[in-house]
Structure 1
Amino acid sequence: MHIETDLDTIFDNLSTAILMVDKDLSIRFANLAAQVMMQISRNQLLELCLPQLFSRECLDYQRLRDTFVNAEGYSDNEAQFAFNDGRFMLVDVTVTALEQSEERLLLLEMKKIDQQKRISQETSQWAQQQAARELIRGLAHEIKNPLGGIRGAAQLLERTMASSEVSEYTSLIIEQSDRLRNLVDRLLGPNSPPDFAWHNIHRTLEKIRKLIVLDDSEKITLHIDYDPSIPEIWMDENMIQQALLNIVRNSMQALKDTTEGGCISLVTRVERQMTIHGKRYPLVCEVKVIDDGPGIPDNLKDTLFYPMTTSKRDGTGLGLSIAQTLINHHRGKIEVDSWPGHTEFSLYLPIDKKEPG
């Protein structure tokens, strides 16, 4: 049985977003899924070219133009699309050259990476980070034990030999031993259990906001966007404050070298039915720290939360690692998305109706 149907109808019933562009990269066709993805109507899309649609070159435009010449299609996995309205998403893209009425067009198939794939990636990364953290903790203990012996021997030597020359060296040994011990203590993370109680997350954020305002050394604009409907959260306020402060300081450092100081946004929202480390929560508090700095270097993105990972010349690389450890104590997680001009850290904390058992 032969069934005749309109191509537009077929395209509009696909879950994959379809765009067709000409040699000038002007959009000539967009299906319904593309309109949903771009959040722009078909008529508006047909008045745009690709560089007008995205806020940065998340597509290799020269490669697209070369495809018009050689007619060789290609695919990009997990391309990060950033839209002019500030949205971003990970997308798998396939580009195919087509001949249409003696004119060559490019067919772009764009499929948003589904939530299950993100959960799988998150689980894998979390397992790797946990393994790295356990390795660091083991090494830290192995360093700390002989370090105490070195310091004690230096103190004993200092007491038994009154020479000023010897005292100079023993003081140096003690000073450096203390410095290493402090570093090891930071690697090990908090050494006391969380002091959980019901707290308002916005009160914690306001304390951080005041600290930013009081820091006159940075010309930073602060934007606040709170959701007042968020109920109190079962948390250790000091730990959450420290985690958020570490992330905010990271943003302030990223904005330090910008001529205008930049902007930091503190945003809170409620997310529903979110999976965190394999467990699904009906309600989750989302706290976003967003800055318009230069973005995170690509070579650091996969290891950003590992201890000792930093792009700063004088940095220890412990701030984000400690922040994640503190959030893990609260059954939460931290996600980050970054490109030039936009870095967004998202903290997720379960919202409980009663004290969790």
Structure 2
Amino acid sequence: MLNDRQLRQLLDSLTSAVLVLDENLSLCYLNNAAEDLLAASSTRVKGSMLEEVVRESPAAYEAMREALRKNEKYTVRRASWRLNNLETRTVDYSVSPVPEFSVLLVEVQPMDRLLRIAREDALLNAQETTRNLVRGMAHEVKNPLGGIRGAAQLLQRELPDPALDEYTQIIIEEVDRLRNLVDRLLGPRQPVVLQPVNVHEVLERVAQLLDAECIGELQIRRDYDPSIPDVPADSEQLIQALLNIARNAMQAIDESIGLSSGEMVLRTRIQRQFTIGRRNCPLVCRIEIEDNGPGIPEEIRERIFFPMISGRAEGSGLGLSISQNIINQHKGLIKCDSQPGRSIFQIYLPLTTELANTGA
């Protein structure tokens, strides 16, 4: 027979969050998973009313009281719990009355991670489909461009009047412009070569380039975590990916509030147990590029990493697509949170100790 201490150890070993509530919906017990979910220690919240720890609709609390009175079990899907730290959790939970002790047993399964994985999978699949379509079209466009350019050069040599060279030169220059656009659509030609890279040196290079472009008008703040080890990355391509994001932000600031009123923050942090796609990474480096620009229009927020999608009239719509392609080659992830007056791009790069040590 298990004693109380052994029973608690057993419940603490569960990955599902378990709450025990009395007839007044006061918290009698939380296991370790519940403490993590609610971002609160059992010592601090024990004895508190559930509604003081989790914000949900009054009907939800009444349903729990009714379940205890009638001794009926039930399950709620996709409930939204607002915590005291103002974070929101999407959860499934099952309520089971235990009439012998006049308590409710609430088993909670957080769904945020699963929902995020599903959203990211759907988005990445859609982006990959679009990217393959664009690459196929780009190759079809690029093939005849060489012939057009060659024909224009031959025609230029045969023209009797040198004054007509202007027209063939226009053809050649426009072909070159289209070829450069196609090359950008196709993305980086070389695969990434991963080497141990100091991510702060990469960010300093990005800041240096931005500072030169805006002649020091834009305020760029640093918020670095100096404990971050070297990241397995291709330095040049990582600079390009981050520069595309930061340059977009700088241009949006310039067109809205002006560079002198703008601010950009370059931030780094370590994050543990993060899921990229369906891979669990024990340790990742999180790079954030935050700005106080106008934000990304709501109607294109879900599509900003697609080729040819831009929130700016003068934008090509290729920079973010190229950045995502580079980060994907690093087995990383880009996320964006944008609202008027504040946008944050988060780049997650796996920290693989073996790779960083060997330079493989």
TM-score between the two structures when normalised by the length of structure 1: 0.71
> Which of 157, 163, 178 does residue 176 from structure 2 map onto?
178
- Residues 1:258 and 2:257 are matched in the alignment: yes
The corresponding residue for 2:223 is 225
The residue matched to 2:308 in structure 1 has which SS?
coil
**Corresponding residue SS for 2:261:** coil
* Aligned equivalent of 1:295: 295
Is this contact kept in 2: 1:290–1:343, CA < 8 A? yes
Q: 1:90 to 1:297 in 2, by over 3 A?
A: farther
CA shift, 1:273, in A, is 1.4
- Match of 1:290, SS state, is strand
The amino acid of 2:290's aligned partner reads I
Residue 312 of structure 2 is matched in structure 1 by 312
> Could you tell me how far apart the structure 1 residues matched to 2:27 and 2:232 are?
50
Is contact 2:270–2:285 with CA below 8 Å preserved after alignment?
A: yes
1:168 Cα deviation after fit: 2.0
- C-alpha distance in structure 2 between counterparts of 1:89 and 1:138, whole Å: 42
CA shift digits 1:236-264 (9 cap, x unpaired): 10000111111111111121121552211
Consecutive aligned runs of 4 or more in structure 1 exceeding 4 Å deviation: 7-10, 12-17, 87-92
CA distance change for structure 1 residues 4 and 203 in 2, over 3 Å: closer, same or farther? Answer: closer
Aligned partner of 1:97 in structure 2 is none
Deviation (angstroms), 1:8: 5.2
Percent identity between matched residues is 41
Equivalence for 2:239: 241
Identify which range, 197-206 or 250-259, moves more after superposition.
250-259
Partners of 2:22 and 2:174 lie apart in 1 by 81
Q: How big is the shift at 1:278?
A: 1.7
Counterpart position of 1:205: 203
Is 1:6 the counterpart of 2:27? The answer is no
Contact 2:274 2:282 survives alignment (8 Å): yes
Whole-angstrom CA distance in 2 between matches of 1:318 and 1:90:
34
Give the distance between the partners of 1:345 and 1:333, measured in 2 at CA. Answer: 10
In the alignment, is residue 139 of structure 1 matched against residue 120 of structure 2? no
Deviations 1:189-228 (A, max 9, x none): 1112223211111111111222233344463222211111
Query: Greater CA deviation, 188-197 or 178-187?
Result: 188-197
Q: How far 1:113 moved relative to its partner?
A: 6.0
Are 1:273 and 2:291 matched, yes or no? no
Q: Which amino acid aligns with 1:264?
A: M
Residues 324-351 of structure 1 deviation map (CA, whole Å, 9 limit, x = unaligned): 1111111111000111121010001110
The 1:163–1:112 alpha-carbon spacing in structure 2 relative to 1, beyond 3 Å, is: farther
Q: For residues 141-186 of structure 1, give each alpha carbon's deviation from its aligned partner in whole angstroms, at most 9, with x where no partner exists.
A: 0000011111111111111223235322211111110000000001
Query: CA 1:199–1:7 in structure 2 vs 1: closer, same or farther (change >3 Å)?
Result: closer
Counterpart residue number, 1:322: 322
Distance 1:121 1:275, change over 3 A: same
* Alignment pair present for 1:129 and 2:127: yes
Residues 1:322 and 1:4: Cα distance change in structure 2 (over 3 Å) = closer
Answer yes or no: is the 8 Å Cα contact 2:336–2:343 preserved in 1.
Answer: yes
Aligned partner of residue 285 in structure 1, secondary structure: strand
Cα distance in 2 for partners of 1:78, 1:243 equals 37
| Distance in 1 (alpha carbons) for counterparts of 2:210 and 2:140 | 38
Q: 1:149 aligns with which of 147, 150, 154?
A: 147
Equivalenced residues, count: 280
Match of 2:52 in 1: 31
Q: Is the 8 A contact 1:283 1:350 kept in 2?
A: yes
C-alpha contact 2:281 2:350 (8 A) present in aligned 1:
yes
Distance apart, 1:133 and its partner CA: 0.5
- Aligned mates of 2:224, 2:139 — CA distance in 1: 42
Amino acid at match of 1:5: E
Give the structure 2 partner of residue 187 of structure 1. Answer: 185
- For residues 108-142 of structure 1, give each alpha carbon's deviation from its aligned partner in whole angstroms, at most 9, with x where no partner exists: xxx98611101110011001101111111100000
Matches within 5 A, 1:10-159: 30-34=51-55, 114-159=112-157
1:355 match: secondary structure:
helix
SS in 2 for 1:289: strand
1:78–1:113 CA contact under 8 A, matched in 2:
no
Alpha-carbon deviations, 1:305-328, whole Å to 9, x = none?
011111222211111011111111
Specify the SS of the correspondent of 2:313.
coil
Query: Contact between 2:211 and 2:217, CA under 8 Å: does it hold in 1?
Result: no
What is the SS of the residue equivalent to 2:264? Answer: strand
Secondary structure, counterpart of 1:354 in structure 2: helix
Distance in 2 (CA, whole Å) between partners of 1:90 and 1:249 is 34
SS, match of residue 265 in structure 2: strand
Which has the higher Rg, Structure 1 or Structure 2?
2
Contact 1:8-1:31 within 8 A present in 2 as well: no
Work out whether residues 89 and 112 of structure 1, in 8 Å CA contact, stay in contact via their aligned partners in 2.
Answer: no
Q: What is the distance in 1 between the residues matched to 2:304 and 2:144?
A: 30
Q: Is the 8 A contact 2:276 2:333 kept in 1?
A: yes
Instruction: Quickly say closer, same or farther: Cα 1:347–1:88, change in 2 above 3 A.
Output: farther
TM-score (norm 2): 0.70
Mind listing any 5+ residue stretches in structure 1 that lack a counterpart?
18-28, 36-76, 93-110
